[in-house]
Structure 1
Amino acid sequence: MEKHFGILQIELDAILKASKDNIVITDGKGIVLRASPNCQAIYGKDVSFLIGKSVFQLEAESIFSPSVTKMVLKAKKEIQVMQHTTTGRVVMATGFPVMNEAGEIIRVISFSHDLTEIETLKEKYEELKTKMEHYQSVIKELGEKADSTEDIVIKSKTIQRIWELVQRVAKSDANVVFYGESGVGKNVFARGLHNKSERKREAFIEVNCGAIPESLFESEMFGYEEGSFTGANKNGKHGLIELADKGTLFLDEIGELPLSVQAKLLKVLQEKKITPVGGVKVKNIDFRLIASTNQNLKDMVSQGKFRQDLFYRLNVIPIQIPPLRERKEDIAMLAHYHLKNFNEKNSTNKFLDAATVDQLISYNWPGNVRELENLIERLVITTETRAIYPDQLPFYIPQKNRQQNFEWSFDHTEGRRKTLQEILDEVESRHLRRAYMQYKTTREIAEHLGLSQPTVVRRLKKYGIDSKMNLDL
Structure 2
Amino acid sequence: MSEKLRLLELEIEGIINESGENIIITDSEGIILRAVKNSEEMYGIASEELVGSSVKELEQKKIFSPSVTLSVLQQKAPVTFMQKTATGKIIMTRGVPIFNEEKKITRVISFSHDMTEIEELKGKYEKLQQKMEQYETEIEQLRERERLPSEVFINSKAMQTVWSLVNKVAKSEATVVLQGESGVGKTVFAKALHNGSHRKGKPMIEVNCGAIPESLFESEMFGYEAGAFTGAASRGKMGLIELADQGTLFLDEVGELPLSIQVKLLKVLQEKKVTRMGSTKSRTVNFRLVAATNRDLQAMVKTRTFRDDLFYRLNVVPISIPALRERKEDIHQLTEAFLQKFNEKYDTDKTMHPSALKAFWQYDWPGNVRELENLIERLAVTLENKVILPDHLPFTEKAEEKSIEKFETHGTSLQESLEHVERSWLLQAYRECKSTYEMAEYLGISQPTVVRRLKKYNIDSKTNQ
**Which of 180, 183, 186 lines up with 1:185 in the alignment?**
183
> Kindly tell me: are residues 318 and 431 of structure 1, through their superposed partners in 2, closer, same or farther at Cα, counting changes over 3 Å?
same
Contact 1:409 1:417 in 2 (8 A): no
CA-CA distance at 1:290 after TM superposition:
2.4
Which one-letter code corresponds to 1:420 in the other structure?
Answer: Q
CA-CA distance at 1:114 after TM superposition:
1.8
Q: For 1:435 and 1:192, how far apart are their aligned partners in 2?
A: 38
Range that drifts further, 351-360 or 137-146: 137-146
**Which of 414, 420, 440 lines up with 2:415 in the alignment?**
420
Aligned to 1:267: 264
Q: For 1:441 and 1:227, how far apart are their aligned partners in 2?
A: 72
> Kindly tell me: are residues 132 and 420 of structure 1, through their superposed partners in 2, closer, same or farther at Cα, counting changes over 3 Å?
farther
Question: CA deviation digits over 1:378-430, x for unaligned, max 9?
Answer: 54578787x4245995xx959966753x566534765x445425415624753
Which one-letter code corresponds to 1:249 in the other structure?
Answer: F
Q: For 1:466 and 1:264, how far apart are their aligned partners in 2?
A: 66
Contact 2:42 2:89 in 1 (8 A): yes
In the alignment, is residue 308 of structure 1 matched against residue 290 of structure 2? Answer: no
Q: For 2:363 and 2:43, how far apart are their aligned partners in 1?
A: 82
Percent of aligned pairs sharing the same letter:
35
**Which of 398, 406, 411 lines up with 1:410 in the alignment?**
406
Q: Secondary structure at the match of 2:67?
A: coil
Aligned to 1:39: 39
Question: CA deviation digits over 1:20-73, x for unaligned, max 9?
Answer: 7534467999986653333134234421133356889978998572139969xx
> Kindly tell me: are residues 106 and 348 of structure 1, through their superposed partners in 2, closer, same or farther at Cα, counting changes over 3 Å?
farther
> Kindly tell me: are residues 367 and 125 of structure 1, through their superposed partners in 2, closer, same or farther at Cα, counting changes over 3 Å?
closer
Q: For 1:470 and 1:193, how far apart are their aligned partners in 2?
A: 43
Question: How many residues are paired up?
Answer: 421
TM-score by length of 2: 0.57
Contact 2:220 2:239 in 1 (8 A): no
Aligned to 1:49: 49
Aligned to 1:66: 68
Question: CA deviation digits over 1:412-466, x for unaligned, max 9?
Answer: 765x4454254156247538847986x8875566467664445446656877999
Aligned to 1:376: 376
- Counterparts of 1:67-106 in structure 2, within 5 Å, are 67=69, 81-87=80-86, 88-93=88-93
Tell me, which stretches of 5 or more residues in structure 1 are unaligned? 99-104, 302-306
CA-CA distance at 1:185 after TM superposition:
0.8
Q: For 1:56 and 1:364, how far apart are their aligned partners in 2?
A: 74
CA-CA distance at 1:227 after TM superposition:
12
Q: For 1:178 and 1:70, how far apart are their aligned partners in 2?
A: 68
> Kindly tell me: are residues 238 and 89 of structure 1, through their superposed partners in 2, closer, same or farther at Cα, counting changes over 3 Å?
same
CA-based RMSD? 6.8
Contact 1:84 1:91 in 2 (8 A): yes
> Kindly tell me: are residues 194 and 442 of structure 1, through their superposed partners in 2, closer, same or farther at Cα, counting changes over 3 Å?
farther
Q: For 1:232 and 1:470, how far apart are their aligned partners in 2?
A: 72
- Counterparts of 1:14-413 in structure 2, within 5 Å, are 16=17, 22-24=22-24, 34-51=34-51, 63=64, 65-67=67-69, 81-87=80-86, 88-93=88-93, 111-123=111-123, 125-126=125-126, 129=129, 133=133, 151=151, 178=180, 184-186=182-184, 188-189=185-186, 201=197, 206-209=206-209, 217-218=217-218, 220-222=220-222, 230=234, 239=242, 249-252=250-253, 255=256, 262-269=259-266, 272-273=269-270, 274-277=273-276, 278=279, 279-281=281-283, 287-292=289-294, 308-309=305-306, 335-336=335-336, 338-339=338-339, 342=342, 350-354=350-354, 369-377=369-377, 379-380=379-380, 387-390=386-389, 397=394, 404=401, 410-411=406-407
Q: Secondary structure at the match of 2:251?
A: strand
CA-CA distance at 1:268 after TM superposition:
1.3
Tell me, which stretches of 5 or more residues in structure 2 are unaligned? 99-104
CA-CA distance at 1:123 after TM superposition:
4.0
Q: Secondary structure at the match of 1:37?
A: coil
